[in-house]
Amino acid sequence: MTPNTPRVFESVSEFIAFRKTISPDITIGFVPTMGALHSGHASLLKKSASENDFTVLSIFVNPTQFNEKSDFTNYPKTWNEDLEVATASEVDFILMPTYEQMYPDQYRYKLSENDFSKKLCGGSREGHFDGVLTIVMKLLNIVSPNCAYFGEKDYQQFKLIHDMAASFFMTVEVIPCPTLREDSGLAMSSRNVRLSGEGKTKAGLIYKIITESKLASEASEKLTSHGFKVDYVEDYYNRRFVAAFLEGVRLIDNVEIK
């Protein structure tokens, strides 16, 4: 059977009005994204579709989490392909709000965390996680899902959102989903389209090196010797986290430390 095309909401108030019509015994799974959907997103959406009555996908490129304006303006926008992925992944509703709708206060209010969010990606991208936590809180309040799904590729983001939900006694269950990888080992990401074919193969070394090195410092040295510009390789919460540039593209990954 061909899956139905999802219903698209471009208005937050229309979505909220519609959400009120859904009976409380219907379960809602939610996958927030910034679009440019790839197989990693599809796996989150399919998991949500298999575990809930309805799945909501949001697409919103959130300016408050970018500290480089060019990174924000160059963020890939692939609406036609996104709709295909959403349809094939059995998404029921897509929320695509505007900046004005999401930030009626012009970001006067924001949410921040004062420990883990300052490390790793937060250390080199000031205010990044304030932007992420703020937009995710707003979206969770709008969608009011039973479960929300996040990829482990952004494990720091997943943990911060998971712990935020616990800290604020939110009823949503924040669910981690395993990282999907290319054959080379490269973690799937919307940014990978900016790598050359050769770059994509070479970027597979990140996963191999952080998995095989005994120490974070050793992994960092090996990546540098292969031509990566390392931002960090550090261990927290039994995981090894890495951010490194290749061909000017910032790539992140993490693995469990055995």
As annotated, the active-site residues are 41
**CB closer to ligand PAF out of 125 and 222:** 125
Binding mask 149-188 for ligand PAF (x = CB under 6 A): -----x--x-------------------------------
The count of chain residues that interact with ligand PAF, using the rule CB under 6 A, is 10
Q: Print the SS3 string covering 4-69.
A: CCCEEECCHHHHHHHHCCCCCCCCEEEEEECCCCCHHHHHHHHHHHHHCCEEEEEECCCHHHCCCH
Q: Does 242 bind ligand PAF (CB under 6 A)?
A: no
Q: Does 33 bind ligand PAF (CB under 6 A)?
A: yes
Minimum CB distance to ligand PAF, residue 35 (Å)? 8
CB of 163 to ligand PAF, least distance (A): 15
Helices (H), the chain: 12-19, 39-51, 69-73, 79-88, 99-102, 121-124, 128-143, 155-167, 197-203, 205-212, 216-225
Report which of 95, 178, 183, 204 is spatially closest to residue 142, judged by C-alpha positions: 95
Does position 32 interact with ligand PAF (CB under 6 A)? The reply is: yes
Extract the tokens encoding 135. Answer: 């937009």
Residue 14's nearest CA partner among 87, 72, 91, 95 is: 95
Strand order in the sheet with 249-256: 229-236, 239-246, 249-256
Are 92 and 53 contacting, i.e. CB atoms less than 8 angstroms apart?
A: no
Which 115-134 positions form the footprint of ligand PAF (CB under 6 A)? 132
- 36 counts as binding ligand PAF under rule CB under 6 A: no
Q: Which of 135, 137, 147, 246 binds ligand PAF (CB under 6 A)?
A: 135
Could you tell me the smallest distance in angstroms from the CB atom of residue 10 to ligand PAF? 17
**Least Å from the CB of residue 72 to ligand PAF:** 11
The answer to whether 62 contacts ligand PAF (rule: CB under 6 A) is: yes
Residues that bind ligand PAF (CB under 6 A): 32-34, 62, 65, 132, 135-136, 154, 157
